[in-house]
Amino acid sequence: MNILVTGAAGYVGSICGEELLRQNHRVVGYDNLTTGHREALPPSVEFVEGEVADTARLKRVCKKFQIEAVMHFAASALIDESIRSPDLFYRNNVSASLALLEVLIQLKIRNLIFSSSAAVYGEPKSIPITEEHPTNPVNPYGESKLVIERALAWYHRAYGLKSVALRYFSAAGATARVGEDHRPETHLLPLLLDAALNHHKKFEIYGDDYPTPDGTCIRDFVHVRDIAQAHILALQTLPKIGFAILNVGHGKGYSIREVIRTTEEVTGRGLRVRVGPRRPGDPATLVASAQKIVRELGWKPRQSDLVTIVKSAWQWRQRHPNGYCGAKGKCA
């Protein structure tokens, strides 16, 4: 298929592009490079720099490359930033996504895989979290994802748009050439690996008094290649599904201290760790029920054991100690 990948220079989008190419699809990458990295794009991706909200440009791209399906990753994703600047998230995540849907309807492109988030659930009332769990976002980022999920249900009913919204839990890991490099970095594993590479840096645990076995938060980590495979299976199953919302989680949680210990074992380096205060809004435990995605797509998290995740991320980080930036820490 000819597939448009928005946010193709981002962490999950670039790895999904790799997997699509491996399965002989034609991939057109579309990204404004505000937070993505041009270097993350596989060489075979046909890249177009642009804004998702630019409907005229988007139409030209879809027509030129005869796009048959879209994987929509482009979004602002920093939760703290969403609380400070909700306007940015409504503009980038809601308005731009609706502009994309407008183009798809006009051009009769009826296949869409949407990158959603477990942030739509808010504070969990039960664990593991099923797709039927109440949605109650506690930040604009989660709210922006939920708005588009709801729109997709109505667009399916009104226009026949086939779509699957995939609610990620904690994406982690790397491939041989693509890894995790956010600026600023807020994700757990890259921060731990940074502390392993730079002994003068300390890693801070945000609270160790949660109602969990070791007092630290528990999260459901999924290897990013398994997440990419979920997108591909969802695309293959779209004609049968029509519209669906699916969790992408391992169904098994690891505490922050467990991830620290595994990182020390994989890297062979002791980490300097300190305990700080809790962050507002951090749930004690976020673990998905993966039963529905296994049943609907036949998906299996083949690489999502914690050691494999940390090893893959560490190998990439050793080859890219400054991420996608040069030796002097300055991005090209």
Backbone angles phi, psi at 73, to 5 degrees: -105, -20
Alpha carbon distance 317, 315 (integer Å)? 5
Q: What are 134's two structure tokens? A: 């109440």
Residue that is written with structure tokens 């930036």 in the block: 325
What ranges in 90-215 are assigned the alpha helix state H? 96-106, 140-159, 188-197
For this structure, is 141 an active site residue? yes
Whole-number Å distance between alpha carbons of 266 and 207: 24
DSSP letters spanning 57-105? HHHHHHHHTT--EEEE------HHHHHH-HHHHIIIIIIHHHHHHHHHH
Catalytic entry in 11, 121, 141, 254: 141
Which secondary-structure segment (H or E) carries 112?
strand 111-117
CA–CA distance, 240 with 233 (Å, rounded to integer): 12
Separation CA 118–CA 83 (nearest Å): 17
End-to-end alpha carbon distance in the chain: 32
Question: Cis ω on the peptide bond leading into residue 213 (within 30° of 0)?
Answer: no
Residues marked as catalytic: 141
